[in-house]
Amino acid sequence: MIRAEFPDISVSKLRYLEAEGLISPDRQQPSGYRRFSERDVERLLYVLRAQRDRYLPLKVIREELEAIDRGEDPVTVQEAPPAEQAQPEPRPGPSRNGQPAQPGKLLTRRQVLQESALGEASFIHLERLRLVAPRHGSQLYGREAVAVATAAKRLANYGMDLRQLKVIQQAAIAEAALVEQVLEPFRRRNGAPADTVADVYRVVLQAHAALLHGQING
């Protein structure tokens, strides 16, 4: 019934929504299996459609469901822009944390999944590991989310557990701290020029690639 509209739905996604308290199928069966009533299916469809069509976070969806359970109409939430009207990112330049903003468009969750070809359950896993997240103050993702999701899918094909991407994330955090240290003198003066910020990041990435190559082939 669900796959007719959501062909990528998985058991892990259902378990996740149940753990988050959004659905509560009957589990008092002798076999231990969960049994979904028509009301459970309708509730599940409401959650999935709110994510797909309105890009709502689970917290807001939960509040809407609670309002429905009380017999109230859920408060209308402003929808995120449709895919064809995704918000443009700022022009390249230093961001608040010093990292150069990348040109392009911010993407909806559905667009990230489509471009990366990563499954919904795996993407949820990345979010729970805090490896991908929407941009601050929105429900839209930067291009880096597509890159991480694509890498996760390709590395999973080689048998890498998604949790092992935390090692790469820790390396990125350490490198970002190093860049911040290098740029601090510029900021104390008149601020770091955008081309300087971009060049420092470029050099650090080149050094990272060279050192990784040396470790693998040394």
Say whether pLDDT at 96 is over 70: no
pLDDT value of position 52: 82
Say whether pLDDT at 165 is over 80: yes
Mean pLDDT, rounded, of the chain: 80
* DSSP code string of 134-195: PPTTSS-B-HHHHHHHHHHHHHHHTT--GGGHHHHHHHHHHHHHHHHHHHHHHHHHT---HH
pLDDT value of position 176: 85
pLDDT value of position 29: 63
pLDDT band at 81 (very low <50, low <70, confident <90, very high): very low
Taking only the tens place, the pLDDT of each residue in 152-162 is 999 988 888 88
Say whether pLDDT at 78 is over 50: no
